[in-house]
Chains A and B, each alone.
Chain A
Amino acid sequence: MQAIKHLLLVVAISSGAVAAELGPPKLTSATPLGGTPDGSFEAVLLGEHLEGATDLWSPSIGLQGEVVGVDRDDDTETDLLDVRFLLGARLVSGAHDVRVITAHGLSNALRLIVHAAPSVLEQAAAHDLAIDAQHLPVPSVVHGKVAEVGEVDFYSFSVQAGDELVFRTFSSATLDPGLAVFDLTGSWFDAHRPRRLAFADEPVEYPGEPVEAMLRYRFDQVGDYLIRVNGFWGHGGEDQSYALLINSDPDGRLESLAVEEAPRWTERTWRRPLDADRMEQLAGRTILSGAPSSMAVFDADAEVRSLPVETPAIQLPALIKGTIERPGDFDRVRFTVEEGDRLVFEIQTPQKSLPQLNPLLRIFDSDGVEAFTNIWSRVDSNGNVSKQIYPKTEYVFPRAGEFTLEIRDITVTYGDAEMEYRVIVRPWVPHLGEGRLDSDYVNLVAGKAQELSVVVDQEEGYDGLAAFSLEGLPAGVDFVTGATVEPEPPPALNAGKKERFTTNSRKVTFVLMPATDAPLTPRPTEVEVYARPVVDGEVGAKILMGKVLAMVVADAAPVAEEGDGEAAR
């Protein structure tokens, strides 16, 4: 964590009376959205309650900022914060969070992009026609915005024959950018009409996937070409900012503007890593009576080649690695269970994932009858059958015998080298699972209690206790645990085999209590939330459930709304 140097404050600190009217600061976007390492750039941050901003804060070492001034656009009721960022030479390329500090506390995080390619700022003059395109060097990152409703921004660039370029966007949360590449050959109707060569929106439009556009194009002819940026919804405004990377890709290595999330423990996501040390990892989240079982690794693709006829048998626990190499491809393994065996079937999709790869696990008994799958079938409130595949399935075998596990894509239309999977079949390990905080920052007011909740999953029938603790609280802040009532969700018409695909969770609420004389914190403090498994009176190791930034402020700033903890892109 790096405290940002507190520099010049142009705007006078507001009086207490004014401050009382202010809420917590909130950031929505920035223009430009980033810059190059070992450089600096001036930017305007947009948001609410930015008056009186004193400082900028980032967890990234080498990212510093200073507040230069603040203005307000009364039409849009938006605060415009002029800032200057200094980017250290060692700052790694990629997304970095930055927050604003005011007298009322810390803002949500805004993501900036640091890139090696030179920065170019969008020209002030309109360039919404091909003939007015702004020329860009390759490689470069141009920072611009879709300021007007329906605006399109044309940029030109030069290539050699055979060049392959990659275009990527990084945009503010309010913009959903699209890209199109054009040549300048015109048409019979209009010599100046750009001719579209390629178009791209996000590679896959799917819940949870980024909306950033990415386009790769190989140019057969030397010459000047155009790239066009527009917003999908045709909105315009100061908050519709974007960075567009144009990069050549001679080695297949790309500078990415993609956002990489910090690794955290998850159990029901398709891309979580599944490795041979899975049992050891799980042992660290519970209390085991003995050493964790070792896990065999089985290469399904290789085994299928060597044993084309007989379905290979595996010993459990096992990690099965394979690929749906062609449409309709599937892999099968056999395993044996005893009556009452409790097994978990976990799937990871390391490369392609949903919705391009939809891994279907089917488990057949020795008669070839389907025993169960990783599909959760339900009947919704309208009486419609709903089916969805899940990355983790728990099952209790009612009888002993040999079973066959089949792994395939649910379609028979897709299959390639990127449709890779990892499947772990292992016994249940009751343990503490994923933890989810309701916010990633909290502004505490001296003398006033505030809640902070964490939900922790109890995986695979974990029925022990969980002991929670907070570490790193600001001075003068204490906590006690409280309890809240969680409303019951409405029952489904037929919830199906819910227990195979979901887990029980517990929600713990901490009541943070800053003393009335708790010292104010000029910068945020990182508070760590831990849980410990407690089984049969034995207390296990600390498990980090999450981190939260905390500040103690003098004013009665309202609590950040739920979801504010999500960083604005």
Chain B
Amino acid sequence: MRHVNASFRLGFAALTLVLVAGNAADPEIVSLRIVPDRVELSGADASQQLLAIGETPEGETVDLTASAVWSAESPSIVELRDQARAVATADGEVRVAATFAGHSAKVDIHVSDSESHRAFSFPRDVVSIFTRRGCNGSGCHGGVKGKAGFKLSSNGIHPHRDYEWIVEGGEFQVLTDEPAGPREPRIDLDHPEASLLLHKATMETAHGGGLRFEKGSDDYRAVLEWIEAGAPYGEEALSQAAKLVRLESYPAKLIFKPGESHRVLVTAHFDDGHSEDFTHQVLYSVNDSAIAKVSGDGRIEANGLGETAVLIQALGRKTRVGVGVVGAPLDDYPETRSRNYIDDAVFSKLRRFNIAPSAHASDAEFLRRVCLDLTGRMPPPDRLVEFLADESPDKRDRVIEALLDSPEYVDYWTFRFADLFRVALFPVGINPKWTQAYYEWIRDAIERDRPYDQVARERIAAQGYSPASRHYLPYLVIPPAENMMAEEMRVFFGRRFDCAQCHDHPYEEWSQDQFWGLAAFFGPMFKLGGNPSSVIFDFPGGQEIAADVPSPRKLGVVHPRTKEAVQPALLDGSRIPFEETELPRRELAAWMTSHEFFAEAAVNRLWSYFYGRGLVDPVDDFRSTNPPTHPKLLEQLAEDFVQQGYRLKPLMRRIVQSNAYQRSSVPNETNRSDRVNYSHALPRALDAEILLDAIADVTGIAPRFKVGTNRGAWKGGTAPLGTRAVELKEGDLYPSAFFDAYGRPNRFSVPERDPSPKLAQALHLLAGETYTRGLWLPGARVYDLVQEGANDDSIIDALYLAGFARYPEDAERQAILEMIEATPSREQALQDLQWAILSSREFAENH
């Protein structure tokens, strides 16, 4: 068994930002240094990863660890393994040197107690392997339910429990420490190599998680030796000595160019004051692999332009390296004009990363986009023509105002929030009248632009028979308190607390106690009466009234681990005792809506509707390891939102008026791969309902929505004549193969629409009624134009204006005219043209 006891001073605490240059080929440097600049190793096999850092003539730094030539003055004291990993072999002082392109640097390493094998620690010596190998990740055995009955604490945060599940065995069950069935150890002390733990990791036994380490590898040997030694927990660990308190990375922030790479050093700080090199004992992951990639030993590689973060985890602790990938400086960087603080933030960052924004969108492009974004509709051809002809400088602002004031705005944003608030038949008590009331409550809020904090408070604290209270009765029953709390947090805080339900949050500071403290606000909720007449109320003082009938289960919130009743407590730990409030949820709602998280989550979500992604993305996954692309902008938007009384319209106005929003979707050479810096408009697939309405607008044939069951049986009625898809109050009352194919969510959980193309869409394009029915009928656009005697040119114009919101280019027109000429039937050719427009990406995307 290998024991490690090392301590050292890094001496680079001040170096938090590293600008890297030119290590793709051998760069020109003016100096070279080694990081860390002094090392102390204590104990057998103690080690320290060394980095060779060069400085270019431009003042940028470059990681030359792999390219430099490394040497130790006395190889008997430290051995340099792999790429400059110094491993203690004997006591003494040794100087290690790195040489590159005529430059050299040195570091002194002091080794002590090299014969001393430090006491074994299960958390440090075994659990860290699970972390590094991803075994205890949230997607594997560290997940809420574990995997295949084997549960490890997420990221090794509870090593005692990990030890128990390995040494004693047993099948894990959620929300209890009790195993299901008899316990069978996952290790075999009599025949260590036959241990299930090793067999699974090496795939000698079928393992859903695949190969974790090779038989004979260092990690394999470490685990095997631990079993051979009787699988101890470790005296030191048992005494709780030297607990890891913090991880630190070098560099903390990294800015480099595509194709460049840089290694990371990770230092673990323990509560007894000593530190160790953990570079090779942590798990690395990256938030956005389009920006950067990271290897298992901490080598970060720049990929595309933009920012991301590399997450580093070990023994329940984490840190991160901010990564920025910048382009080459541009000689002719385009001039940008700021309309408001959004432009300031977006353009300044683009400049910093040497990304040129796309050109200002043309009037046609702008109008189509802003119509779709504010109202879910494409501009009518006559309005488009009028807009293009208008030469007044404020025409964009005027059309924005007209759209914000339009009834279509109300329809569209009601649809948007009906999605978020899960307005549908089954999630709202299987009662279409409840669904309608809930929908109308949202619609009223949108129509009057009611302050969003008021809306949130009404929903969170909803009682009685109010429309907003209906969402607490999916399937006619009140869901578990923890589910209700987690949804309100996700919707209004943009945070996923669910992870903390069963264990402390793996990436955040949220603890399981905090989770259940928040859930307790929803604990007293109960419903009066049976269905369909349920009234929501909260037991006064948290105490059940009319408790003369023993309940089969305890009412209220019980901590799954301690089995004790939980009192409501806010995230900051302040308790709201039941006896001190009439309605705990009202207190929670007031606290939530005044918390900075609330405004940030709201503006971030709103932002995503206009830019196709949030400043924090996914929009409901705020966490320290998923930072905003523009932190200051997020703050400014939130402040603006609060100052505007939490009203949506002023914020939307601010966004669509910005020059950043009004960029073209046509990329340039510098921003083609950018998807996070808003350098150009990102094309987005139209949502199913928007797409269907757009098809109806282009063809002139409105769909009818039949009332049906979820199995498609028609119930004999339809939505009112003239109803558009975005106006459907309860989507699941109207089954539709089209909606299914194009990703309409069922709203059983907070919806996340899936914009990715699917085979069903392709089939629908070819044979679906939606794309074929309306092409040649009285009332259809093409049919009527032909009947009116319109010539080919005017029909082509009409279809382009309706579908693409632009006139055809000369080459397009010529090609179409030739196609019509070559087709025996003019009618068929024009139908084909319309079909081609409807099936094009240009039509089906907002760009």
Contacts and interface: CB of A to CB of B under 8 A. Distances in A.
Interface in A173-219: 187-190, 193, 195-196, 199, 201, 204-207
Interface in A457-478: none
Interface in B401-454: 402-403, 406-408, 410, 431-434, 436-437, 440, 443
Majority secondary structure, A binding face: loop
Interface stretch (B95-103, B710-718, B775-783): B710-718
B467 to A, nearest CB: 10
Interface stretch (A263-271, A375-383, A541-549): A375-383
B408 A187 contact: yes
Contact of B433 (A196, A201, A356): A201
B548 A149 contact: no
A413 B464 contact: yes
Interface string A360-371: 101000000010
Interface string B452-466: 000000000111111
A387 B526 contact: yes
A372 interface: yes
A138 interface: no
Contacts of A373: 545-546
A358 B465 CA distance: 10
Contacts of B555: 385
Contacts, number: 150
Given A230-B720, A375-B545, A377-B548, A413 B535 contact: no
A202 B463 CA distance: 20
A206 B533 contact: yes
A72 interface: no
Interface stretch (A231-239, A245-253, A272-280): A231-239
Contacts of A412: 463, 538, 540, 582-583
A377 B549 contact: yes
A149 B356 CA distance: 56
B463 to A, nearest CB: 4
Given A373-B546, A410-B535, A411-B535, A379 B465 contact: no
Contacts of A195: 407
Given A328-B582, A412-B463, A379 B549 contact: yes
A403 to B, nearest CB: 16
Given A355-B464, A413-B461, A413-B464, A205 B437 contact: yes
Contacts of A341: none
A151 B704 CA distance: 11
Contacts of A385: 549, 551-552, 555
A520 interface: no
Contacts of B551: 379, 385
Contacts of A325: none
Contact of A234 (B526, B532, B718): B718
B380 to A, nearest CB: 6
A398 interface: no
B299 interface: no
B547 A377 contact: yes
B126 interface: no
A494 B538 CA distance: 23
Contact of A355 (B379, B431, B533): B533
A24 B719 CA distance: 36
Interface in B352-390: 375, 377, 379-380, 383
Given A193-B407, A201-B436, A358 B548 contact: no
B433 to A, nearest CB: 4
Contact of B720 (A187, A204, A234, A328): A234
Contact of B715 (A233, A379, A410): A233
B528 A387 contact: yes
B402 A234 contact: no
B465 A206 contact: yes
Nearest to A182: B407
Nearest to B550: A494
A317 to B, nearest CB: 24
A411 B407 contact: no
A118 interface: no
A413 B525 CA distance: 13
Nearest to A355: B465
A413 B466 contact: yes
A496 interface: yes
A358 B375 contact: no
A128 interface: yes
B146 to A, nearest CB: 28
Given A195-B407, A205-B434, A389-B528, A190 B717 contact: no
A377 B552 contact: no
A496 B720 contact: no
A289 interface: no
A355 B402 CA distance: 41
B545 A362 contact: yes
A235 B528 contact: no
Interface in A143-188: 149-152, 187-188
A149 B436 CA distance: 20
A281 interface: no
B718 A150 contact: yes
B722 A152 contact: yes
B717 A410 contact: no
B779 to A, nearest CB: 13
B383 A189 contact: yes
B531 to A, nearest CB: 9
B548 A188 contact: no
Nearest to B444: A199
B707 interface: yes
Interface in A312-355: 328, 354-355
Given A378-B549, A386-B530, A411 B464 contact: yes
A108 B717 CA distance: 27
Given A354-B535, A355-B464, A383 B717 contact: no
A79 B669 CA distance: 76
Contacts of B341: none
A126 to B, nearest CB: 10
A497 interface: yes
A162 B286 CA distance: 63
Contact of A150 (B375, B407, B536, B719): B719
B704 A150 contact: yes
Interface in A386-431: 386-389, 410-414
Nearest to A228: B720
Nearest to B440: A199
Contacts of B583: 412-413
B721 A150 contact: yes
Contacts of B582: 328, 412
Contacts of B379: 189
A475 B526 CA distance: 58
Contacts of A494: 549-550
Contacts of B375: 189
Q: Choose among B432, B461, B538, B548 the residue with the greatest number of A CB atoms under 10 Å from its CB.
A: B548
A199 B440 CA distance: 8
Interface of B: 375, 377, 379-380, 383, 399, 402-403, 406-408, 410, 431-434, 436-437, 440, 443, 461-466, 477, 526-530, 532-533, 535-538, 540, 545-552, 555, 582-583, 704, 707, 715-722
6 contacts: A128-B721, A193-B407, A235-B716, A358-B537, A375-B545, A410-B528
Given A128-B721, A387-B529, A496-B549, 17 more contacts: A152-B722, A188-B399, A190-B380, A195-B407, A233-B717, A234-B719, A234-B720, A236-B717, A358-B528, A360-B545, A377-B547, A378-B549, A386-B530, A388-B529, A410-B537, A411-B538, A413-B463
- Give the top 3 A-B pairs by smallest Cβ distance, nearest first: A234-B717, A150-B718, A355-B465
